[in-house]
Amino acid sequence: STFYERYHSLGDIYHWINRTAQENPDKVKIILLGSSYEKRPLYALKLTFNDRPNKKAMWIDCGIHAREWISPAFCLWFVQHSLAFYTFNSDISSILDNMDVYVLPVMNPDGYHYTWTTNRMWRKNRSVSNNCIGVDLNRNFDANWCTEGASDQPCSDIYCGAFPESEPESEAVANFLRIHKDTVQLYLTIHSYSQMLLFPYSYTFDEAENHNDLLEMAQEAVQKIRRYYHNSYKYGSGAKTIYLAPGGSDDWAYNLGIKYSFTFELQDRGRYGFLLPPSYIPKACNEALIAVKTIALKVIEKT
Ligand code: 0X9
Ligand code: ZN
């Protein structure tokens, strides 16, 4: 199997980030967003394939939740595909001609490392409070923070933290997006599992102002997955499709003004769950990729 058809340790991913930037100095830049609780660097890659004035951008983050290994694998897959197919694939070239792409391969490096060394099923980051360890970074954003669907108990797997952006990982991402909110038009965050395309809101049952747009985009993306990969994904607002869950990065980015904001839940639907075998990586990533392309092209069309 190739490099992209396997899961990689955190150290390997850091090496991959450096190698990818070094081998593509004209297209890939490394951005240091901040550092994790245990002082690991939070690196994003910026993909720029040409210089146009007023160029817009999209953001993709992976690995908010430590045990969802297919998620960082997708970020690597996406970057590799962009670099390899820009010249040959018209969808990729139209996207990258119109947008810069920021890719954060591992938003929760401490948790990810911990799943490789100690507990494969760890979800949260590794920050220490009185008696328990870890905050759920996807409950730590300032979007109806710590209401129903999150927990104020440090031992819970959905612990919201002491206050919004209490964690260096969520704060670093939020700071970056606040600075770049006028260029970033599309926010994507990659999770697993359950095969869903979710959009705001998750903290309330109220519909987003552009609900019909978001619904149409998700529907089109899901249809493409069904047609090309014969797999089915659910789609809809987070609260109505899975559960009420406040403090998520997607709702926060949406309220910041990034009106196209989606959470992807990749394969599978529960047979292997978080332990998706590496042989499933290519199909899981390719179907997510076709959905990303569909949505990004729609955003370009609309804006
Ligand atoms: O609960 C979550 O954070 C996500 N599901 S997961 O199984 N990967 O943990 C769904 C997030 C949907 N969006 C928000 N709740 N804002
Ligand atoms: Zn998740």
The string of pLDDT tens digits covering residues 77-112 is: 999 999 999 999 999 999 999 999 999 999 999 999
Cβ of 63 less than 6 Å from ligand 1: no
Rg (CA), the chain: 18
Number of domains the chain contains: 1
Asked if the interface predicted TM-score (ipTM) of this complex is over 0.95, the answer is yes
- Statement: residue 130 has pLDDT above 90: no
Q: What is the pLDDT of residue 37?
A: 98
- Statement: residue 267 has pLDDT above 90: yes
Compute the average pLDDT of residues 58-62.
Answer: 99
Mutational pocket test of ligand 1: of 61, 64, 65, the residue with most ligand atoms within 8 Å of the beta carbon: 65
Q: Which residues are bridge partners to 223 per DSSP?
A: none
Query: Could you give the CA distance from residue 88 to residue 90 in angstroms, rounded to a whole number?
Result: 6
Compute the average pLDDT of residues 225-241.
Answer: 98
Residue 263's φ and ψ, nearest 5 degrees, are -105, 125
Whole-number mean pLDDT of the chain? 98
Cβ of 238 less than 6 Å from ligand 1: yes
**Residues 66, 191: contact at Cβ < 8 Å?**
no
Closest CA to 199 of 227, 176, 220, 175: 220
Cβ of 248 less than 6 Å from ligand 1: yes
Mutational pocket test of ligand 1: of 187, 263, 276, the residue with most ligand atoms within 8 Å of the beta carbon: 263
Cβ atoms within 10 Å of 7's Cβ, excluding its own? 17
Query: Could you give the CA distance from residue 148 to residue 200 in angstroms, rounded to a whole number?
Result: 16
Q: What sign for the dihedral angle of Cα 127, 133, 136, 142?
A: negative
Model pTM above 0.90: yes
User: Is-catalytic flag, 265?
Assistant: yes
- CA–centroid distance, 245 to ligand 2, in Å, is 12
Q: What is the pLDDT of residue 80?
A: 98
User: Which listed residue (68, 167, 169, 265) is catalytic?
Assistant: 265
Residue nearest to atom 15 of ligand 1 (CA): 245
Q: What is the pLDDT of residue 5?
A: 98
- Report DSSP state, residue 208: P
Q: What is the pLDDT of residue 176?
A: 99
Cβ of 263 less than 6 Å from ligand 1: yes
Query: Could you give the CA distance from residue 159 to residue 161 in angstroms, rounded to a whole number?
Result: 6
Cβ of 245 less than 6 Å from ligand 1: yes
Cβ of 250 less than 6 Å from ligand 1: yes
Q: Residue 94: which CATH number?
A: 3.40.630.10
* Host domain of residue 184: 3-302
- CA–centroid distance, 138 to ligand 1, in Å, is 7
Q: How far is CA 228 from CA 74, 221, 231, 256, in A?
A: 18, 11, 8, 34
